[in-house]
């Protein structure tokens, strides 16, 4: 029987029988005892097999997964299992997880009473975007005797689509719009200067800025009237996502492209909530997703759907193509957040003239990544010549990154050098800084 497996218990019992049989060579009276023990073990073994195979479908199992899962976050799987036997059982569940998860050793254990059901939750963390298919479930059932196991294959498929993290998006929304956010990493920045989007003319009250007095309205009304302004809204913001080969670099299971996509979704939600329009352009050697800036209620879902299938291209990024795309599609001055990764001074200098041209018409912010693994190498103590050599190379790489930062700032380009896990936080802080200073 291909679905029948012996556990360790029968072998332990047979070992005792063999031991008694060996002793019976010196003590003949034990020979009858060994025969009785052998019959008892075989009898219980046959009984256990009969009991486990007495029902054709003794176990009913259902798997519940949300149709949409979050990239890089823990997602819940709920198992609902029904025991149709009249006696309690122990069960081990081995799932046929999607290949992308690389979870080949995951198992769930259940202790279920007779004629009862049980629910149990487990979690998985996807490291890639796309459609994940959970296939058959393999359950190994044993009775209280525990001499044999019966394998049951539950043939069912469950699909879930892994999107950019909606959970992280909601978390950052709560943080940004919560009054007490300084301890969570969101900076509260004092507004400088004056916003210049006109709202209304109102009567002057003590404490108003006299520089805002509207003299024409004052002469008509014969009383002091002032102009009232509000924060500028409906400004255009574009997230530019580099899909070149440098963005394939992985950190903690996620590629830099995945970090950029998660950050784009969270940032877009914040900007739309603040009344600004958000667009997305992804590119490498050719243009991928291209969404015009909008702030409608359904625009965030369009952004998520467009980012769902974006993959890294193992080709050189064409920044000149990006420049001409922006010139043709983005007609008004906008805030551009460019998620990319420069690993050498040569790669930056080759593309710096194009970035300067983009920055002349728009407010460009270049966001690139620290290599946290090299930071760890640099922080380790050196015990021999090889360690000193590795530490020196790590320090040189870190200093080269700092030079890239200085080079961009000297060119008048805003920039952020961020750890991958802090990308969303740093992007939102930069956006809030621009808003407070009236730069966009």
Sign of the torsion formed by the C-alpha atoms of 395, 400, 401 and 407: positive
Reference 403, options 352, 357, 363, 353; nearest CA is 352
Q: Which of 19, 37, 52 is the last residue of a domain?
A: 52
Give the DSSP letter string of 70-138: ETTS-EEEEEEEEE-SSS-EEEEEEE---GGG---S-EEEEEE-TT-EEEEEEEE---S-EEEEE--EE
Helix (H, G, I), strand (E, B) or coil at 168: helix
The total number of structural domains in the chain stands at 4
Rounded Cα distance between 170 and 270, Å, is 9
Q: Which of 112, 146, 163 is the last residue of a domain?
A: 163
Domain with residue 148: its CATH number is 2.60.40.10
Rounded Cα distance between 438 and 432, Å, is 10
Burial 137-152 (b: 16+ CB within 10 A, else e): bebbbbbebebbbbeb
pLDDT value of residue 191:
46
Q: Are residues 336 and 423 in the same domain?
A: yes
Q: Are residues 237 and 298 in the same domain?
A: yes
Sign of the torsion formed by the C-alpha atoms of 164, 170, 171 and 175: positive
pLDDT value of residue 309:
84
Domain with residue 256: its CATH number is 3.40.50.410
Rounded Cα distance between 73 and 59, Å, is 31
Provide the residue range defining the domain that includes 130.
Answer: 59-163
pLDDT value of residue 190:
47
Q: Are residues 12 and 44 in the same domain?
A: yes
Rounded Cα distance between 78 and 95, Å, is 13
Q: Which of 148, 163, 178 is the last residue of a domain?
A: 163
Q: Are residues 308 and 356 in the same domain?
A: yes
Q: Are residues 377 and 426 in the same domain?
A: yes
Structure tokens, 316 = 């050189």
Rounded Cα distance between 33 and 374, Å, is 69
Q: Are residues 77 and 131 in the same domain?
A: yes
Residue spans of the chain under pLDDT 50: 179-180, 182-184, 190-194
Q: Are residues 43 and 105 in the same domain?
A: no
Q: Are residues 331 and 222 in the same domain?
A: no
Rounded Cα distance between 169 and 418, Å, is 18
Q: How do residues 278-336 score in pLDDT, each as one tens digit?
A: 999 999 989 988 999 998 878 998 999 888 888 887 888 999 999 999 999 998 889 99
Q: Are residues 417 and 363 in the same domain?
A: yes
Q: Are residues 111 and 247 in the same domain?
A: no
Question: Which DSSP category does 213 fall into?
Answer: B
Q: Are residues 102 and 42 in the same domain?
A: no
Q: Are residues 30 and 147 in the same domain?
A: no
């Amino acid at each position: 029987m291909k679905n029948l497996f012996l556990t360790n218990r029968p072998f332990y019992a047979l070992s005792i029988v063999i031991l008694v049989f060996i002793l019976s060579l010196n003590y003949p009276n034990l020979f009858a005892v060994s025969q009785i023990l052998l019959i008892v073990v075989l009898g219980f073994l046959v009984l256990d097999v009969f009991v486990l195979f007495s029902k054709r479908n003794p176990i009913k199992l259902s798997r519940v997964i949300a149709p949409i899962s979050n990239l890089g976050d823990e997602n819940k799987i709920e198992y609902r299992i029904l025991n149709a036997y009249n006696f309690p059982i122990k069960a081990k569940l081995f799932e046929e997880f999607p290949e992308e998860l690389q979870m080949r050793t995951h198992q769930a254990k259940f202790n279920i009473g007779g004629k009862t059901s049980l629910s149990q939750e487990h979690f998985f963390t996807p490291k890639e975007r796309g459609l994940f298919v959970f296939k058959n479930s393999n359950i190994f059932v044993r009775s209280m005797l525990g001499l044999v196991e019966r394998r049951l294959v539950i043939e069912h498929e469950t699909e879930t689509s892994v999107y950019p993290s909606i959970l992280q998006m909601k978390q950052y929304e709560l943080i940004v719009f919560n009054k007490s956010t300084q301890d969570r990493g969101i900076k509260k920045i004092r507004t400088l200067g004056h916003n210049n989007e006109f709202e209304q003319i109102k009567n002057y009250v003590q404490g108003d800025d006299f520089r805002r007095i509207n003299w024409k309205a004052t002469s008509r009304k014969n009383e002091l009237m002032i102009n009232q302004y509000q924060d500028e809204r409906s400004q255009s913001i574009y997230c530019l996502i580099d899909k070149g080969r440098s963005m394939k670099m992985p950190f903690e299971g996620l590629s830099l492209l995945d970090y950029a996509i998660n950050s784009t979704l969270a940032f877009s939600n914040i900007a739309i909530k603040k009344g600004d329009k958000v667009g997305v352009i992804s590119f490498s050697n050719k243009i991928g997703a291209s969404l015009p800036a909008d702030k409608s209620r359904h625009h965030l879902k369009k952004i998520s759907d467009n980012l769902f299938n974006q993959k890294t291209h193992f080709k050189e990024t064409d920044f000149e193509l990006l420049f001409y795309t922006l010139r043709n599609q983005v007609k008004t001055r906008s805030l551009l957040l460019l998620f990319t990764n420069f690993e050498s001074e040569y790669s930056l200098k080759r593309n710096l003239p194009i970035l300067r041209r983009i920055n002349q018409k728009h407010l460009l912010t270049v966001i690139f990544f620290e290599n946290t693994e090299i930071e760890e190498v640099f922080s380790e103590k050196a015990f021999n010549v090889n360690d000193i050599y590795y530490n020196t190379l790590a320090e040189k790489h870190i200093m080269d990154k700092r030079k890239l930062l200085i080079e961009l700032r000297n060119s008048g380009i805003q920039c952020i050098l961020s750890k991958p896990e802090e990308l969303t936080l740093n992007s939102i802080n930069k956006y809030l800084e621009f808003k407070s200073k009236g730069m966009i």
